[in-house]
Amino acid sequence: MTRMGTLSLDDFKAVQIPVPWGHISGRWYGNRTERPILAIHGWQDNLGTFDRLLPLLPDYLGILCIDLPGHGRSCHLQPGMHYSVDDYVDIIPRVMKEYGWQKVSLLGHSMGAILMFVYAALAPHAVDMVISLDILISECRQPEGNNLRLAAHNMEKHLGEDERLVGGCSREPPAYTLEKMCSALAKGSFNSVRQEVAHHMLHRQVTRSRLYPGKYYFSRDGRIKFINHAYLDNGLFAEMARRIETNPYLVIKASDSPFVGPSEALSILTANNPNFEFHEVEGTHHVHLNEPEKCAQYIVPFLIRHRPPPALNSWSKEQSLQGKKTFQANSKL
């Protein structure tokens, strides 16, 4: 049996997927002759969030990592438009339509994983696999107290950002050294991202200053900080979990993170879906970036089971578990 290699960060094709407001930027890593896994990052992050995880994944599959609108190098929405978690779900079928996919395999972190849960429930026939990093679905946000105050605050701030855009403000945002920006990114993540790995995301969301040599400014859309969050019902989350049925679904929970989702939705998937897996690893919300091997130890055998290479389609479950052991041995080299 041929030994599997792993993905290389140098082996990618830059892509631009046309959308009505411009384009979605991405990188297609590895195998470009087969349908890849679509990877979507979290809120205010970009595709660089997967930089340290990808080299631990098998190279027989391709991974198409994209920047969501307003993030990374993807186009911003037009002035007057508002970013919404609900509307971001539409990005998945847009990418599928661009490449003519009838089905999609999904890998997501944080908000990206939330989008995948929603899409898997809306179109279970079109999803053949989901890998969810540190969240299943966000907890139900009740329209009361602090949540209402936050919604009002975000509305005002968003309007201010919009006025700045419509006014054609040509003044550069504040500029900093890359070292200070790495520190700011780590601090802004509540220290979920370690400062020494922050540069993996930084390179896609900064622009070199024209006014201050050696300094940069954040180029992501300021409006994404004030994104709309849906006020959904836990009963709806439960019904969505039921609609996912037996689709292979892997959730990796970080021990130091408060996120995962409503217990009822998790219970339904655990009870009803024989292809559902839940694992907890030690680390922060960005454990896949800080210590990717902790996530890869579960992702690799999951991929081998549910998206095996053609020569391995007849592998038994026992052989799939052997793939996990092989990964663990290789990760120590």
3-class DSSP string for 106-144: EEEECHHHHHHHHHHHHCHHHEEEEEEECCCCCCCCCCC
Question: What's the CATH class of domain 1-333?
Answer: alpha beta
Q: Are 193 and 109 in contact (CB under 8 A)?
A: no
Per-residue pLDDT, 87:
92
Q: Over its length of 333 residues, how does the chain's per-residue pLDDT go in tens digits? A: 345 789 999 999 999 999 999 999 999 999 999 999 999 999 999 999 999 999 999 999 999 999 999 999 999 999 888 898 889 999 999 999 999 999 999 999 999 999 999 999 999 999 999 999 999 988 766 555 677 777 787 888 878 887 777 766 557 788 999 999 999 999 999 999 999 999 999 989 999 999 999 999 999 998 999 987 765 677 889 999 999 999 999 999 999 998 887 889 999 999 999 999 999 999 999 999 999 999 999 999 999 999 998 775 544 344 444 444 444 444 443
Per-residue pLDDT, 141:
61
